[in-house]
Structure 1
Amino acid sequence: MNDTRPTVTVRSDPARNAYLALLDDGTEAGGAYFRRHDGVVTFTHTEVSPELEGQGVGSALARGALDDVRSLGEKIVPRCPFIKAYVDEHPEYQDLLA
C-alpha cells in the first residue's frame, strides 16, 4: 500500500478568484474559491479532484490559502464548510475570522 502523499503547492489565481492546489507536475488538484472585498476574503467553495481526496490535498490547500490571506493582512469569512471545519480544527487560524 502506498501511503505517500502528493506534494502540493498553493498558488493564488486572482483571475479565477481561487487558490489552486498544484502537484509537482503542474496538475491542478483542486481549488478554494472566494470573493475578496475590502480586505475580507469570503471562501465560498473548495474542491479536490476525486482521485486525490483523502490524501491531504484539501488540507494543504486550506493551509496555503489561509497563510496567504494572513500575509496580506486580510480577514476571512468561511462560508465553505471545508474551510470552516479547517479553521475550527486549527486554532492558529482563528485570528483570521472577520
Structure 2
Amino acid sequence: MDSHVRDNTEKHRFERQIHDGSLAAAYYRLENGRYVFFDVEVPEFASQGIGAALVQGVFNTLRERGEKAVIKCSFMQSFLQAHPEYHDVVDTAP
C-alpha cells in the first residue's frame, strides 16, 4: 500500500495527509466489488501536485490489492489520460 495514502473505510474515502494537517481525499462507493470514485477534494493545494499524488497512491494501492476502480470523477479521468500506465486498474465494464 502507498505509505502516504490510507483507505478510510468508515468514511468511504482514500486520504492523503497534507503538510498543514488537512487531508486530500478521493471519495468512493463500493458497487459489485469495485470502487466507484465520484469526487476528489484537495483543499487549497490544487497546483502543488497533491491531487495527482493522491490519485497515484489510490491506483497503486488498488493494483497491489488486485482491485478495480470505476471512474466517475473528472479529476481522476484527467489523471488517467495523462497516465495510461494505470488503465489496468480501471474497470470499464458497465
Q: What TM-score do the two structures reach when normalised by structure 1?
A: 0.82
CA RMSD between the two structures: 1.7
Q: Give the superposition deviation at 1:29.
A: 2.8
Structure 2 contact 80–86 (Cα < 8 Å) conserved: yes
Paired with 1:37 and 1:78, the residues of 2 have a C-alpha distance of 12
Name 1:33's counterpart in structure 2. 27
Q: What TM-score do the two structures reach when normalised by structure 2?
A: 0.85
Structure 1 contact 29–57 (Cα < 8 Å) conserved: no
How many residue pairs match? The answer is: 89
| Structure 1: runs of 5+ lacking an equivalent | 1-7
How much identity, in percent, do the aligned residues show? Answer: 31
Larger Rg over CA atoms? 1
| Structure 2: runs of 5+ lacking an equivalent | none
Paired with 1:22 and 1:97, the residues of 2 have a C-alpha distance of 24
